[in-house]
């Protein structure tokens, strides 16, 4: 018998050491107590058998397929690194840790193989594939996704880009720099407005820079108010003469917040005048790649110069960027100087482009397309799929990207988006149907004996069920499930620290015409089953954070297909929790960490 310690057992099973301790306490994983302190040791064979029981076997597939020699599927957490500069060129939501994606691609493919990423978002899979000299096909229904990825990987003459950029900014400043002029409160000299604070739709405070007295903060004076009125007059004059162009599209209901109805209402009149002018200059640049990169710089800046930045009145600055995944214009918000913001974005883009200058973009084929129809990809032609599918209603990708897409000449295929959006009559059924069609296509295009990995985390069992059913119905066989930590926290996590799940699960599936899916036990009443598991877990651990709980329960649910109760209704985990448990603040070190500090405990 080979004995291993708690840490080694945790690594083997891809869970935390506290999970191992808990499993040993509840008898799930028998342990030996060693020495006077009684610390735990485990039989390695028993740990491995548990791995198979809970997560599916980690197969050595090297003998099964000549074409796909993989020593073993990744079986544990990979420590996530933060994003390098080339991932910070443009905002997108749900960017996965690049080094984790890279390790998956390295594990499942070799140089020259073809990777498919059917929901590419901002393109981590595409970019990591290129770095590893893999061919890659990237798709996303969102035109913004292809735009971001294309501009991230494109080979553009950076000297030419730089020359056009400076020329455009010089021209725009010549025409409109005076719209950012204010008086220094000490010497009354003309000074530059860096930021303005708006409260209830009126400009109230300004942070400016005087040539003599440097930075100052002041309440607005009559000339500042007069300048705002002048901006409105200029905008109206330009409109009358058809000399201004900005999007007036209606904001979609699902992402509406704070009463603004149209995209242009997310900007001040001053911003609309300057943005429209800069965009018109960019559209005159003759070289397509350069023009696109300039537009990319432009869209990457848009949120920073919108009304969506919560303002700090006292310091006359912004508290954060576009923080929530809605179009929210806080009552006190900040207006930033477009020329300054554009310059920051230009520098960030130059840095990212220089970092990526050695990749070969022609290994990538990118499409704006619905992934449930991959007719342009041959059957059995893809070596590996790595993706991060849409999670239901977490983030409304198309409705939010409308903010950028509306400034670009694009058509958006809203009806085929995979999402749950009650305002567009897109419920679970639509989500499940489209997800099934997509996974059928993934199965068709993947080579036999090859793998598909995807990351996923969600509280809603309807969404889990839709995705897992789609995989099984397509014919995929589950190899294992890994709990994987995330790289950086997103804005939404920052806001809702106390009830956010940490990490993701990575599912590794295989296309195998020889292996059949293990029989699915649908007789389990998932309500009772999940309730019992949760009760045992919470009792044994004196409570549990949402993350601990979901990390524990989801693999068990998935492995047992325990989604529906005796009436066939999908179980709502949150309701089970709310019925029998209280969600309370606890005094733990992790209090300020995401997912820490709050626990579910049994109701007294």
Ligand X SMILES: C[S@@+](CC[C@H](N)C(=O)[O-])C[C@H]1O[C@@H](n2cnc3c(N)ncnc32)[C@H](O)[C@@H]1O
> Considering the complex, what minimum distance in angstroms separates the CB of residue 122 from ligand X?
4
218 scored as a contact of Zn ion (CB under 5 A): no
Tell me which of Zn ion, ligand X, none is bound by residue 95, counting a contact when its beta carbon lies within the kind-specific cut-off of 5 to 8 angstroms: ligand X
> Considering the complex, what minimum distance in angstroms separates the CB of residue 431 from ligand X?
10
Residue nearer to ligand X on the CB measure, 140 or 548: 140
210 scored as a contact of Zn ion (CB under 5 A): yes
Residue nearer to ligand X on the CB measure, 342 or 474: 474
Distance CA 122, CA 111 (A): 23
Q: Can you tell me which of 92, 108, 277, 451 binds ligand X, judged by CB under 6 A?
A: 92
Element (H, E) at 450: strand 446-456
**DSSP-derived 3-state class of residue 349:** helix
Residue 151 near residue 296 (C-beta atoms within 8 A) = yes
∠ CA 533-534-539, rounded to 5°: 105
**DSSP-derived 3-state class of residue 476:** strand
184 scored as a contact of Zn ion (CB under 5 A): yes
The full 3-state SS of 380-440, as one line of letters, equals CCEEEEEECCCCCCCCCHHHHHHHHHCCCCCCCCHHHCCCCEHHHCECHHHHHHHHHHHHH
E strands, 200-331, where? Answer: 202-210, 214-219, 311-312, 317-318
Among the residue ranges 202-210, 341-349, 501-509, 512-520, the one whose residues contact Zn ion (CB under 5 A): 202-210
Tell me which of Zn ion, ligand X, none is bound by residue 441, counting a contact when its beta carbon lies within the kind-specific cut-off of 5 to 8 angstroms: none
Distance CA 602, CA 604 (A): 6
- Please report which residue ranges of 109-157 form alpha helices under DSSP H: 124-131, 143-153
> Considering the complex, what minimum distance in angstroms separates the CB of residue 466 from ligand X?
13
Distance CA 115, CA 150 (A): 17
Element (H, E) at 138: strand 135-140
| Relative orientation angle of helices 158-176 and 288-302, to the nearest 10 degrees | 50
421 scored as a contact of ligand X (CB under 6 A): no
Tell me which of ligand X, Zn ion, none is bound by residue 540, counting a contact when its beta carbon lies within the kind-specific cut-off of 5 to 8 angstroms: none
186 scored as a contact of Zn ion (CB under 5 A): yes
Helices (H) and strands (E) in the chain, counts: 18, 19
Burial letters for 389-400: b for 16+ Cβ neighbours within 10 Å, e otherwise?
bbbbbbbbbbbb
Residue nearer to ligand X on the CB measure, 419 or 558: 419
Distance CA 492, CA 592 (A): 15
> Considering the complex, what minimum distance in angstroms separates the CB of residue 185 from Zn ion?
8
What is the contact mask toward ligand X in residues 38 to 77, using x (rule: CB under 6 A)? ----------------------------------------
420 scored as a contact of ligand X (CB under 6 A): no
Q: Can you tell me which of 194, 264, 335, 370 binds ligand X, judged by CB under 6 A?
A: 370
572 scored as a contact of ligand X (CB under 6 A): no
The full 3-state SS of 517-558, as one line of letters, equals CCCCCCCCCHHHHHHHHHHHHHHHHCCECHHHHHHHHHHHHH
Residue 371 corresponds to which tokens in the numbers above?
A: 């992934």
- Bridge partners (DSSP) of residue 41 are 5, 32
Tell me which of ligand X, Zn ion, none is bound by residue 140, counting a contact when its beta carbon lies within the kind-specific cut-off of 5 to 8 angstroms: ligand X
Q: How many CB atoms lie within 10 A of CB 360?
A: 12
Residue 107 corresponds to which tokens in the numbers above?
A: 């594990």
Q: Can you tell me which of 41, 91, 96, 164 binds ligand X, judged by CB under 6 A?
A: 96
122 scored as a contact of ligand X (CB under 6 A): yes
Residue 359 corresponds to which tokens in the numbers above?
A: 């990749």
458 scored as a contact of ligand X (CB under 6 A): no
206 scored as a contact of Zn ion (CB under 5 A): no
325 scored as a contact of ligand X (CB under 6 A): no
142 scored as a contact of ligand X (CB under 6 A): yes
119 scored as a contact of ligand X (CB under 6 A): yes
86 scored as a contact of ligand X (CB under 6 A): no
Q: Can you tell me which of 14, 94, 449, 546 binds ligand X, judged by CB under 6 A?
A: 94
| Binding-residue total with ligand X (CB under 6 A) | 23
483-522 residues near Zn ion, rule: CB under 5 A: none
> Considering the complex, what minimum distance in angstroms separates the CB of residue 141 from ligand X?
4
121 scored as a contact of ligand X (CB under 6 A): yes
> Considering the complex, what minimum distance in angstroms separates the CB of residue 316 from Zn ion?
16
Q: Can you tell me which of 65, 213, 257, 444 binds Zn ion, judged by CB under 5 A?
A: 213
Q: Can you tell me which of 56, 89, 128, 140 binds ligand X, judged by CB under 6 A?
A: 140
141 scored as a contact of ligand X (CB under 6 A): yes
**Residues lying near ligand X in the complex (CB under 6 A):** 92, 94-96, 119, 121-122, 124, 139-142, 145, 370-372, 388, 390, 397, 416-418, 434
**Residues lying near Zn ion in the complex (CB under 5 A):** 184, 186-187, 189, 210, 212-213
């Amino acid at each position: 018998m080979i004995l291993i310690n708690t840490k080694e057992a945790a690594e083997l099973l891809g869970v935390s050491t506290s999970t191992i301790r808990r499993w040993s306490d509840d008898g799930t994983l028998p342990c030996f107590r060693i020495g006077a302190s009684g610390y735990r040791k485990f039989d390695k064979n028993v740990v491995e058998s548990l791995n198979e029981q809970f997560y599916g076997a980690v197969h050595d597939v090297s003998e099964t397929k000549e074409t796909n020699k993989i020593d073993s599927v990744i079986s544990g957490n990979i420590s996530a690194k933060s994003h390098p500069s080339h991932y910070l060129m443009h905002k997108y939501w749900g960017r996965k840790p690049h080094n984790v994606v890279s390790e998956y691609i390295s594990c499942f493919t070799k140089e020259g193989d073809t990777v498919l990423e059917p929901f590419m978002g901002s393109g981590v899979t595409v970019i990591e594939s290129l770095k590893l000299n893999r061919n890659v096909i990237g798709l996303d229904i969102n035109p913004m996704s292809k735009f971001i990825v294309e501009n991230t990987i494109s080979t553009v003459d950076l000297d030419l880009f730089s020359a056009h950029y400076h020329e455009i900014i010089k021209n725009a400043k010549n025409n409109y720099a005076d719209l950012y002029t204010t008086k220094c409160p000490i010497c009354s000299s003309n000074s530059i407005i860096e930021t303005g604070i708006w409260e209830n739709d009126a400009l109230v405070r300004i942070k400016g820079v005087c040539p003599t007295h440097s930075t100052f903060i002041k309440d607005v004076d009559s000339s500042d108010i007069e300048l705002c009125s002048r901006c409105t007059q200029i905008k109206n004059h330009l409109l009358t003469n058809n000399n201004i162009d900005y999007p007036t599209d209606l904001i979609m209901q699902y992402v509406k917040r704070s009463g603004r109805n149209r995209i242009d209402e997310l900007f001040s009149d001053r911003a609309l005048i300057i943005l429209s002018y800069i965009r018109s200059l960019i559209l005159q640049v003759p070289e397509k790649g350069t023009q696109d990169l300039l537009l990319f710089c432009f869209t990457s800046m848009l949120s920073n110069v919108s009304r969506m930045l919560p303002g700090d009145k006292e310091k006359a600055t912004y508290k954060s960027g576009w923080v929530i995944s809605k179009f929210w214009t806080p009552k006190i918000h900040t207006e930033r100087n477009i020329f300054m913001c554009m310059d920051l974005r230009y520098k960030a883009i130059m840095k990212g482009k220089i970092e990526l200058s050695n990749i070969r973009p022609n290994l990538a084929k990118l499409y704006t397309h619905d992934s449930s129809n991959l007719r342009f990809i041959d059957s059995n032609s893809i070596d590996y799929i790595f993706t991060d599918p849409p999670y239901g209603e977490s983030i409304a990708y198309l409705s939010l990207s409308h903010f950028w897409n509306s400034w670009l000449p694009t058509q958006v295929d809203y009806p085929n988006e995979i999402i749950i959006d009650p305002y567009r009559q897109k419920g679970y059924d639509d989500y499940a149907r489209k997800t099934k069609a997509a996974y059928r296509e993934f199965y068709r295009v993947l080579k036999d004996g090859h793998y598909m990995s995807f990351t996923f985390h969600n509280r809603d069992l309807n969404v889990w069920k839709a995705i897992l059913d789609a995989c099984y119905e397509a014919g995929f066989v589950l190899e294992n499930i890994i709990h994987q930590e995330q790289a950086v926290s997103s804005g939404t996590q920052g806001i809702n620290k106390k009830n956010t799940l940490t990490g993701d699960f990575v599912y590794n599936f295989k296309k195998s015409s020889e292996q059949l899916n293990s029989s699915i036990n649908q007789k389990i009443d998932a309500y009772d089953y999940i309730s019992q598991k949760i009760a045992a877990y919470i009792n044994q651990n004196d409570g549990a954070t949402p993350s601990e709980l979901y990390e524990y329960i989801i693999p068990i649910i998935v492995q047992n297909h325990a989604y529906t109760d005796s009436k066939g209704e999908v179980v709502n985990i949150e309701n089970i929790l709310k019925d029998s448990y209280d969600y309370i603040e606890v005094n733990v070190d992790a209090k300020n960490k995401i997912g820490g500090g709050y626990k579910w405990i049994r109701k007294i």
